[in-house]
Amino acid sequence: MRELSIYIHIPFCVRKCLYCDFLSFPVSEERDAGKIESYVNLLKREIEEQAVRYRDHRVISVFWGGGTPSLLKTEAIAGIMETLYGSYHMAADAEITIEANPGTVTPDRMQGYITAGINRISIGLQSADDEELARIGRIHDYRMFLETYGLARAAGFRNINIDLMAALPGQSVASYRNTLERAAALEPEHISAYSLILEEGTHLYERQEDYRFPTEEEDRQMYLLTEAYLSSRGYHRYEISNYALDGYECRHNKVYWQRGDYVGFGLGAASMAGNVRWSNPADFGAYEAYIAGMRHGDVRTVCHEERQEYKEETGSFQEQQILTKKEQMEEFMFLGLRLMCGVSRTEFAAQFGWQIEDVYGDVLSRLYRQELLVRASDRIRLTARGIDVSNYVMAEFLLDP
Ligand code: SF4
């Protein structure tokens, strides 16, 4: 049986954070209860209808992302989980993660996640400094995060991720260190630490002159500090921005980096199977029409040309892209090299029918000479210097058209 990962998108948040360009919309749990409920019903329908395409797959991970999945009521989460278990071959040890934001989770909800079969929780802290949190528009302070973390442990979660952010407005290296120390002191099984990227259209991007951002040098110090400090606390870096205690690497995210099959359900959710990527409509009306037009067993990704947009008379659609072999090889390299274990030469040959050196011989030789990549038996991976300039290294694997 092929392995499959499932992503479930919940596009609702209490309010929009000032740096956020994810597909998410502010809602009020009370005022928008009807809208949330009908979205949950659409999701259940989509999950059920699509199951026929994955009869020969075994689900190894599920990830509830958003948005803020913890905004959903326990019954809604339980209902969707039941639909999943009733429609797919779920592996007995499937990793099932939910993203939760402090300020949205009650003890009942936390217990409800465990009862529904969710076994991993990812909590968005971002910073342990309340002023930094306020400056980026988070709805919570550090105390609320601690409460949420405590609730998760009390409910029985034995696999917790904490999300952190560096390069925030007004953040110093010392305050970032304090955030790292506080997070590690809680002994979560996993820590993700990303640098803030200013995305066009967000409040922080538009008003960046009004804020003092860390200098390039400070940003670099935070970046280096993350690895140095977390490794001293027993966390190994397994991906450029992700750290875990032994045995707790995120199985779901590794599927993305290793180009495994995954299907996304919900508004704008992205999927990939073999050489095809597609995504759901990102507009509520279009998503509703897409679900309404969905027929049992209707495989909606057939197309004959690259980058064709598939439309139906119903007005429903999915955007899809059939990747050329060149694009697949590029992805194999620049996604796989994000992992500290790197890429496998055997795997490359098995997938593409070429030795990696036949395609990338010159690039590899140059990057070995520059000590940015190293080869150890079957695997090719970034060196410490290579991790530092990973964007440059990845760009080297783009092939000429
Ligand atoms: S909670 Fe997450 S998804 Fe929601 S607005 Fe903030 S950053 Fe965006």
Could you report the per-residue pLDDT of 151-195, keeping only the tens digit for each? 999 999 999 999 999 999 999 999 999 999 999 999 999 999 999
Q: What is the mean pLDDT of residues 357-380?
A: 97
- E strand or H helix that includes residue 113: helix 107-116
Instruction: Evaluate: CB of 67 within 6 angstroms of ligand 1.
Output: yes
Strand partners, 322: 276
Return the CATH number of the domain spanning residue range 325-395. Answer: 1.10.10.920
Give the residue carrying structure tokens 């934001």: 101
- Distance from Cα 47 to the centre of ligand 1, integer Å: 24
> What are the phi and psi torsion angles at 303 (to 5°)?
-160, 155
Characterise 353 by phi-psi region: left (phi > 0), alpha (psi -120 to 50), beta (else): left
Every domain range in the chain assigned CATH 3.20.20.70: 2-256
CB 357 within 8 A of CB 371: no
Testing ligand 1's pocket by substitution, the residue of 68, 71, 104, 127 carrying the most ligand atoms inside 8 A of its CB is 68
Position 295 pLDDT exceeds 80: no
Please state the pTM of the whole predicted model: 0.94
Measured over all CA atoms, what is the biggest interatomic distance in the chain, rounded to whole angstroms? 61
Position 303 pLDDT exceeds 50: no
Question: Angle 99-121-161 (CA atoms, 0-180°, nearest 5)?
Answer: 95
CB 325 within 8 A of CB 352: yes
The reply to whether CATH 3.30.70.20 applies to domain 2-256 is no
Q: What is the mean pLDDT of residues 204-213?
A: 95
pLDDT tens-digit readout, 39-56: 999 999 999 999 999 999
Which stretches does DSSP call E strand in 22-112?
25-26, 57-66, 89-100
Tokens matching residue 159: 């696999």
pLDDT tens-digit readout, 89-116: 999 999 999 999 999 999 999 999 999 9
Testing ligand 1's pocket by substitution, the residue of 16, 164, 197, 267 carrying the most ligand atoms inside 8 A of its CB is 16
Residue whose CA lies nearest to ligand 1 atom number 5? 16
Rounded Cα distance between 96 and 251, Å, is 9
Q: What is the mean pLDDT of residues 306-322?
A: 54
Collapsed DSSP state (helix, strand, coil) of residue 322? strand
Tokens matching residue 82: 């039941």
Instruction: Evaluate: CB of 17 within 6 angstroms of ligand 1.
Output: yes
Amino acid type, 70: S
CB 7 within 8 A of CB 46: no
Instruction: Evaluate: CB of 104 within 6 angstroms of ligand 1.
Output: no
DSSP 185-200: HT--SEEEEEE----T
pLDDT at residue 400 in the model = 77
- Distance from Cα 376 to the centre of ligand 1, integer Å: 40
Tokens matching residue 349: 């040959």
Every domain range in the chain assigned CATH 1.10.10.920: 325-395
Characterise 176 by phi-psi region: left (phi > 0), alpha (psi -120 to 50), beta (else): alpha
